[in-house]
A and B are shown apart, each in its own frame.
Chain A
Amino acid sequence: MSSHSNHEACLRPNRRQLMAGIGAGGLMLATQGRAFAAGADNIIKVGFVSPRTGALSGFGQTDGYVLDLARKSLAKGLAIGGKTYEVQIIDVDTQSDPSRASQLAKSLINSDQVDLILAISTPETINPVADAAEAAGVPCLSTVMPWEAWYFGRGAKPGAPSPFKWTYHFGFGVGEFYKMYVSQFGLIETNKKVGVLYPNDADGNAIRANLVPLLEKSGFTIIDPGAYEDGTTDYSSQISLFKKEKVEIFNSFPIPPDFAAFWRQAAQQGLRKQLKIAQLAKTGLFPDGVEALGSLGYNLGNNAYWHKTFPYTSSLTGIGGEALANGYEESSGKQWTQQLGATLSLLDAGFTALKASTDPKSKADIAKAISTLNTVTISGKVDFTSGPVPNVSPGPIVGTQWVKAAPGSKFKLDFVVTDNATDSKVPIAAKLLPLNG
């Protein structure tokens, strides 16, 4: 210090001021963001939050295509109550990170000043977004996660009035899974012994607590080797228990890498030969994950919250299931996935609510329109007037199976509907094939 001259000492505050100036300038830029984009009253802004990259990217990979369709349909604006509004859909990627989802939601609310938020796929995406929307008083509609984890997982108490005024969710819950499993497991003659492999995570624990008692009541014997941690690599003990108990049905809610490890070991250790039905959830929803298993992926049972054979039409774009799936396959070169219809159904429901609102620039009016929404989207009925709890409209989940595609097909696997217990309008395409048949 003392080696510096007084001359330099005089300059020092200037350097500091410079630094402080740079810092303050940066802070201004960082905090103001897109504030200038704040809305005019003939523009409706809709935020769309989904995981496009990261661990959950399988859910978001088709969103770009579906959003393009929606934007094309909305290009001429949206007529509501004799007035035509310009519509902007602002889509953001959570990178599969709940903290980022929360920050994105706040930024949509505060800087973009959106009129409505649509959020899709998994509790990691939807719950933080819904919480931010509820707190800020912005209407939010979501789908694709069990509604119980959305409602009770955000602090609502069973039997108490709904604490939510601004957030609404539609889609499957444990009840739909139960109906579908009982129906699907009855399609093939078995000893009704179900080996379950449920991890120690949100889905695993919820399913163990809520689904297992229902299945036992319906006459199934549940063989549960206990919760395992996500990331387990050795499943010998579970496999030997399933073999000893001679289970013929297998059910699991694993993360994809865990299932791949388990399923290879099950094949090597002779469990796969003994099983008649292997019913997965959460893993194997999309074709690329199942293809990665090679021949071990054939005849795996699964579920679908949408299938291209759903007999409904998109209220927003006017296209049906087959057209949606084929359009995606043509434009991307990849096989269609059940997420296509789910994303479009969310847009369908969101824009139907906007049209039903008396004033789409009033957040309270939009929320009121959602709370009384009773419409049909490309994935079926969305009805908030008769749900099990307010703010929730349960939706179908149908039983499906991955089968080897017919010769000449562009893709290796075909995804066929085998059960329609939760929506009888969905046509059953094939009889469930035994796993080892």
Chain B
Amino acid sequence: MSQDPTVRVERWTLQSRISILAAAIILAILATGPFFFGNNAIDKLTTLFIYVILAVTWNALAGYGGLVSVGQQAFFGLGAYAAVRLADAGLNVYVSLVLAAVIIAAVSLPISSFMLRLRGGEFAIGMWVVAELCHLLVNLDSLVQGETGTSLIALNAYDADTRHALNYWVALGSMTAILVILFVLLRSRIGSAIQAIRDNEEAAASLGVRVMGTKRIIYVFAAFGAALAGALWLSTAITFQPKTYFGVQWTAYMIFMVLVGGLGTFEGAILGALIFFLIETWFGGSGVWYLIGLGATALVFSLFVPRGIWGWLERRFGLGLLPLGYRILGVPSATRMQTPDDGGIGAAPSVGTP
């Protein structure tokens, strides 16, 4: 196509330039938050940033990579556990949080070499088994004392206001880093490769895509994100009780955020995190009905709005806030590329959107 002088490939549109600028401005404003907001707002926004990390990294794995995992709590819990261990060894608490995520990303590399041999449902359940295994192993540590757990009391060295602000900045910085890394990954060859693998692994391999290596990159990235989220959650909760961190509810939350926001769309995962955060704030007190409501909503979305709210908006209004796909301009409409529209996990939202 590139030989045809009438055809142009466009990545940056005016709309996407404006939205990147807007995103940068919003992040810059958020960075000044601790100077203006009260402790309550700071705490809640920190929670929101952690939810965004969880949603975005699960979406990277499932929405872009087609690797549906119900065991991401393995890395969430290990991240928190590694932070407890590092802080206990005398490392600065905030250094421990980030270093813990790096260590767990390294740990996920050997795990990936056998988990990625599994496909579809086998991979999903296999990850759950890994999570249970990690939980049991962590319980054996005498520092954790089984389910009794321990607490990150090293944080008490900081007074309450400093700790709130530091938690907030570390969470905001981590979220920004995760978003930037994913953005760069998706715009690179890896982005196209991983989506090709998701849509058809054999076809991608036959075109020369390095299947295992590409999957591994996205897997380790998702593990890093979940571990970072776990460590950050520990910094806000302080209490480390293994059952809480290795609970499958974390993955349920990730699935909810991504399904409702928009599977396989960059903006959708962020929107999903925001929606989940608001729902939790408003309805979290209603107990069992809140959980039933979450489940029913996720069900309705997966059945009737498989591309989530953002996927629907994107299609309805032709939105494309981020320059992740390719726009092919100047092609007669008859020969224009069509987006495959099979819904669910196989849907390819960004690449190739005409």
Say which one of B171-179, B209-217, B273-281 lies at the interface with A.
B273-281
Q: Which of B47, B153, B319, B327 contacts A134 (CB 8 A)?
A: B153
With a cutoff of 8 Å between Cβ atoms, the chain B residues found around residue A32 in the complex are: 40-41
* Nearest-Cβ distance from residue A151 to partner chain B, whole angstroms: 11
Taking a contact as CB atoms under 8 Å apart, the answer to whether B320 and A1 are in contact is yes
Of residues 156 to 212 in B, which have CB atoms within 8 Å of A's CB atoms?
A: 156, 159-160, 163
> How far apart sit A127 and B243, CA to CA, in the bound complex (Å)?
13
Taking a contact as CB atoms under 8 Å apart, the answer to whether A26 and B238 are in contact is no
> How far apart sit A99 and B236, CA to CA, in the bound complex (Å)?
10
> How far apart sit A99 and B280, CA to CA, in the bound complex (Å)?
12
Of residues 146 to 171 in A, which have CB atoms within 8 Å of B's CB atoms?
A: 149, 152-156, 163
* Nearest-Cβ distance from residue A21 to partner chain B, whole angstroms: 13
Say which one of A103-111, A319-327, A344-352 lies at the interface with B.
A103-111
- Interface readout for A114-143 with B: 1 if CB under 8 Å, 0 if not? 000000000110011001101111000000
With a cutoff of 8 Å between Cβ atoms, the chain A residues found around residue B278 in the complex are: 26-27, 30
Taking a contact as CB atoms under 8 Å apart, the answer to whether B353 and A1 are in contact is yes
Knowing A95-B287, A98-B244 touch, does A135 contact B238 (C-beta < 8 A)? yes
> How far apart sit A348 and B105, CA to CA, in the bound complex (Å)?
50
Taking a contact as CB atoms under 8 Å apart, the answer to whether A200 and B146 are in contact is yes
Taking a contact as CB atoms under 8 Å apart, the answer to whether A205 and B327 are in contact is no
With a cutoff of 8 Å between Cβ atoms, the chain B residues found around residue A100 in the complex are: 284
Q: Which of B41, B148, B285, B287 contacts A202 (CB 8 A)?
A: B148
B152 at the interface (CB under 8 A from A): yes
B39 at the interface (CB under 8 A from A): yes
A136 closest partner in B (C-beta): B160
A28 closest partner in B (C-beta): B41
> How far apart sit A320 and B85, CA to CA, in the bound complex (Å)?
48
> How far apart sit A98 and B243, CA to CA, in the bound complex (Å)?
9
A93 at the interface (CB under 8 A from B): yes
A318 at the interface (CB under 8 A from B): no
Q: Which of A54, A99, A109, A155 contacts B150 (CB 8 A)?
A: A155
Taking a contact as CB atoms under 8 Å apart, the answer to whether B43 and A53 are in contact is no
Interface size range on B against A: 35 or more
**Residue of A99, A107, A155 most packed against chain B (CB within 10 A):** A155
Taking a contact as CB atoms under 8 Å apart, the answer to whether B146 and A1 are in contact is no
With a cutoff of 8 Å between Cβ atoms, the chain B residues found around residue A8 in the complex are: 317
* Nearest-Cβ distance from residue A408 to partner chain B, whole angstroms: 38
> How far apart sit A201 and B144, CA to CA, in the bound complex (Å)?
12
Taking a contact as CB atoms under 8 Å apart, the answer to whether A206 and B148 are in contact is yes
A15 at the interface (CB under 8 A from B): yes
Taking a contact as CB atoms under 8 Å apart, the answer to whether B237 and A1 are in contact is no
* Nearest-Cβ distance from residue B133 to partner chain A, whole angstroms: 13
Q: Which of B45, B151, B285, B317 contacts A155 (CB 8 A)?
A: B151
A237 at the interface (CB under 8 A from B): no
Taking a contact as CB atoms under 8 Å apart, the answer to whether A35 and B241 are in contact is no
A7 at the interface (CB under 8 A from B): no
Taking a contact as CB atoms under 8 Å apart, the answer to whether A206 and B145 are in contact is yes
With a cutoff of 8 Å between Cβ atoms, the chain A residues found around residue B153 in the complex are: 131, 134, 154-156, 163
With a cutoff of 8 Å between Cβ atoms, the chain A residues found around residue B34 in the complex are: none
- Interface readout for A28-65 with B: 1 if CB under 8 Å, 0 if not? 00111101000000000000000001100000000000
Taking a contact as CB atoms under 8 Å apart, the answer to whether B237 and A128 are in contact is yes
Q: Which of A53, A110, A136, A149 contacts B287 (CB 8 A)?
A: A53
B354 at the interface (CB under 8 A from A): yes
Taking a contact as CB atoms under 8 Å apart, the answer to whether A205 and B145 are in contact is yes
B21 at the interface (CB under 8 A from A): no
> How far apart sit A109 and B43, CA to CA, in the bound complex (Å)?
11
Taking a contact as CB atoms under 8 Å apart, the answer to whether B155 and A135 are in contact is yes
Knowing A93-B287, A131-B239 touch, does A31 contact B40 (C-beta < 8 A)? yes
Taking a contact as CB atoms under 8 Å apart, the answer to whether B160 and A137 are in contact is yes
> How far apart sit A371 and B177, CA to CA, in the bound complex (Å)?
45
- Interface readout for B301-336 with A: 1 if CB under 8 Å, 0 if not? 000000000000000011111000001010000000
With a cutoff of 8 Å between Cβ atoms, the chain B residues found around residue A149 in the complex are: 148
Taking a contact as CB atoms under 8 Å apart, the answer to whether A124 and B241 are in contact is yes
With a cutoff of 8 Å between Cβ atoms, the chain B residues found around residue A103 in the complex are: 47, 284
Q: Which of B160, B241, B353 contacts A135 (CB 8 A)?
A: B160
List 30 interface pairs A-B (beta carbons < 8 Å), by A numbering: A1-B327, A1-B353, A1-B354, A2-B354, A3-B318, A12-B319, A16-B19, A26-B274, A30-B282, A31-B40, A33-B44, A35-B40, A53-B287, A54-B288, A98-B244, A99-B244, A100-B284, A124-B241, A127-B149, A128-B238, A135-B238, A136-B39, A149-B148, A153-B149, A154-B150, A163-B156, A200-B139, A201-B146, A202-B149, A206-B145
Partner-A contacts on B (CB < 8 A): 15, 18-19, 37-41, 43-45, 47-48, 139, 145-153, 155-156, 159-160, 163, 236-239, 241, 243-244, 274, 277-278, 281-282, 284-285, 287-288, 317-321, 327, 329, 353-354
Known: A135-B156, A137-B159; 15 extra A-B contacts, CB below 8 A, are A12-B317, A16-B19, A23-B274, A27-B278, A30-B277, A31-B40, A33-B44, A99-B237, A110-B43, A131-B237, A134-B153, A135-B163, A149-B148, A152-B145, A154-B153
